[in-house]
Amino acid sequence: MNKKLFTKRIMQYEVIGFGLVILILWVDEVLDLPSVLLGAKPTPVNWVESIFESAVAVLLCLFIVFSTRKILQHVKYLEGFIQCCAFCKRVKVGESWIPIEEFIRDQSDAVFSHGLCPDCVEKHYKGFFLKMRAEKEKDLPPEAD
């Protein structure tokens, strides 16, 4: 399902839900459901109150639908099958293979920042950091006792 259809469906469900709420408000007002179902004291139909409640429900519906639409415009999602190289982690797009960082950047609003995890520092740069530490310690003046 594409993004526009997905957004349209969600907004349709919201409008239908609010429509049902307004329908229930009017059925309750006209049929006096508390009186019929629960044996409460009958009340006369209050048209002004029903119109006001319906107007509030419509305004709330418009606000919710507008907010949902705005939020869903910012949502990006991946779906389907993504072929990724087991060794270099590049992703196949069409006939070419691109870095996974580029793929995610193009498909979302995510921004990559590279760093080194402690395991990779230990594995790949241990000698470099040990050498730098030794040189730094060699340049330091002796500590006074």
Tokens standing for residue 135: 């040189």
Q: Indicate the length of the chain as a whole number.
A: 145
Q: Flag whether the pTM goes above 0.85.
A: no
Given a cut of 60, whether residue 145 has pLDDT beyond it is no
50 vs 2, higher pLDDT: 50
State the residue for tokens 């009186």.
35
Distance CA(128)–CA(7), nearest Å, equals 53
Name, of 83-97, 109-123, 131-145, the range with top average pLDDT: 83-97
Would you state the pLDDT for residue 22? 95
Given a cut of 60, whether residue 141 has pLDDT beyond it is yes
Question: What's the pLDDT tens digit per position in 117-129?
Answer: 888 888 888 777 7
3-class secondary structure for the chain? CCHHHHHHHHHHHHHHHHHHHHHHHHHHHHHCHHHHHHCCCCCCCCHHHHHHHHHHHHHHHHHHHHHHHHHHHHCCCCCCCCCECCCCCCEEECCEEECHHHHHHHHCCCCCCCCCCHHHHHHHHHHHHHHHHHHHHHHCCCCCC
Using an 8 Å Cβ cutoff, are 15 and 66 in contact?
Answer: no
Question: What's the pLDDT tens digit per position in 15-66?
Answer: 999 999 999 999 999 999 888 888 889 889 999 999 999 999 999 999 999 9
Question: What's the pLDDT tens digit per position in 49-108?
Answer: 999 999 999 999 999 999 999 888 877 666 678 889 988 889 998 899 999 888 888 877
Would you state the pLDDT for residue 20? 96
